[in-house]
Amino acid sequence: MKNKELGALGEKLARQRLKRAGYKIVTANYRSLQGEVDLIARHKACLVFVEVKCRRDTAFGPPEEAVTATKQKKLVHVAEFYIQHEAPDTREWRIDVVAIELDDRNRPLRIEIIENAVNQQDY
C-alpha cells in the first residue's frame, strides 16, 4: 500500500470513528496558503481541526508523535486562517489528532481521538 493509499484509508477510518463519537464532518483536506488540515468537524459547540496520522509500523514511535512542533504550528495557522475567512463567528475551537495503527493486513489495531492535541496558545 502506497503512502497516498494509506493516508486515504486512515482518513476514512478517522471519519468513521469521529462520527461514532458525535463529530459532524464539515470538510476534508482543507488547504490554504498556510498549509493543510485533514478534516474539519464540529463537536458539540466546538469547531475542530483534525490531523490524521496512520501507521502500519510503530518502530519509529506511535502515529501521534509524527505531529511535530513544525506541523503543530502550521495547523494553528491553518485553523486561524479558516476561522478568519470561513467561520468568523467561531468562539471555541481546538485541534485534535486521530492516531491510527494498522496490522499488516491494514486492519485497525488502534484508533484514538486525542482531543486538544495541540495547544494553539503555544504558537
Torsion from C-alpha of 82, 88, 89, 94, nearest 10 degrees: 30
Question: pLDDT per residue over 81-96, tens digit each?
Answer: 999 999 999 999 999 9
* Residue 10 CB contacts under 8 Å (≥ 6 apart), including other chains: 52, 53, 54, 98, 100
From the DSSP assignment, how many helices (H) and strands (E) are in the chain? 2, 5
pLDDT at 59: 84
Q: Are 72 and 121 in contact (CB under 8 A)?
A: no
pLDDT at 60: 86
Q: What is the distance between the alpha carbons of residues 120 and 123, in angstroms, rounded to a whole number?
A: 6
pTM: 0.94
- Listed in order, strand segments (DSSP E) in 44-85 are 46-55
Quote the cell numbers at residue 87: 467561520
pLDDT at 88: 94
Residues of the chain with pLDDT under 70: 1
pLDDT at 67: 95
Please report the domains of the chain, with CATH numbers, ordered by start residue. 3-122 (3.40.1350.10)
Query: What is the chain's alpha carbon radius of gyration, rounded to the nearest angstrom?
Result: 14
